[in-house]
Structure formats: structure tokens, C-alpha cells
Amino acid sequence: MIRTYRAGDGPDVRRVVAEAFGDHGPTVAELVDDLRVTHARAELVAEEAGEVAGHVMLSRSWVDARRALVEVLVLSPLSVAPDRQGRGVGTALVGAALAEARRQRAPAVFLEGSPDYYSRRGFEAATARGFVRPSVRVPEPAFQVAVLDSHEDWMAGALVYCEPFWTHDCVGLRDPELERIEHMFEE
């Protein structure tokens, strides 16, 4: 069952996020807490057997287009409890997040992630659509977008993440992980 985040979900969401992101879990959990207060536009929870099994957040960011600054959404983070991964929880959360973004009339939803995983869930390479990565630390193939119905062709330019992503250093990757991922995409 996918539902809206409720105030009492905080500890369970923190646990799922921390477990899903391994060594980076505490930092990503802090990011979620800060986004919730400042820039969240939607927060969804996957519940199985009365327990939080997954979580996704849509937060406000912008595209710096030539004509105007365009408010867009960033789907990040997407977290599924390790013992529930590979069972469709993430797919259900992504689908629900895109439905919510459409309901909010967002022109686009961005993320950093596996092109293999996200291309099967409605996302495509963002640079091919005229968007510019927010950092050189985001591998180009991982810079993904779902362009929605309210998008217009002039709405292209650089993605500008909201401040919490920068405060928590959650934009792109750092070496040596960045270098490893870049080499994977070259092959």
C-alpha cells in the first residue's frame, strides 16, 4: 500500500532510509529531515503488513531556463528496506511519485540514478532533452528526467537543486566512487 507520509512515520522512515543507503544512510536520513521542513512537495510511504517498507520524496528545485526560472520536482531519495528490495516496492513508489507530480502539474521530475532501472519507470536521459546537470559530479547517464504534460519546449536549462542537497553534499558522487561509475558507463 502506498500512502502519504504521516507525522508518526518519522522513526520508521529514518530507519528505512539509513538501511537502504548503507554507509551514506545517516547523511541521507538527515537530508530527508531537512527537505521535509523546507522544500518537500510530497512524501510517500510504502507499507507492507503494517510496517514502513519504503519511502520516496519529491522536493522543489528549479530549471534555470532562458525565459524564466521554472519550478520542477526532484525525486530523491527513493529508499526501500533491504529485505524488501526486488519485490516491486521501489517501482510502486516511483509510479505513485510520478502520479503525484502530474497531479501537482509539475513540468518535470529529475533524479540521479541508474538509467537501466529508471528508464523502465518513465525516465529518460535529461541532457538529450536540453537539460544541464547541476554538477559535473553527476554522471551524465545518471542524470534522468520524466517530462510531464505541463512541460513546454522552452523549459530547458540547468537544474538547480534546492539548498539541502548541497548542505548535505548529496549532489552527485565523490571520487573514488565517481571514477568507478564513470568507467562503468564508458564500457
Give the model confidence (pLDDT) of 46-58 as tens digits.
Answer: 999 999 999 999 9
Count other Cβ atoms within 10 Å, centred on residue 49.
6
What are the tens digits of pLDDT across the range 95-129? 999 999 999 999 999 999 999 999 999 999 999 99
How many domains are there within the chain? 1
Q: What is the CATH number of the domain that holds 137?
A: 3.40.630.30
Integer Cα distance of 48 and 109 in angstroms: 26
**Comparing C-alpha atoms, which of 26, 71, 19, 30 is closest to residue 164?**
30
pLDDT at 183: 86
Structural domain boundaries enclosing 165: 2-186
Start-to-end CA distance of the chain, whole Å, equals: 39
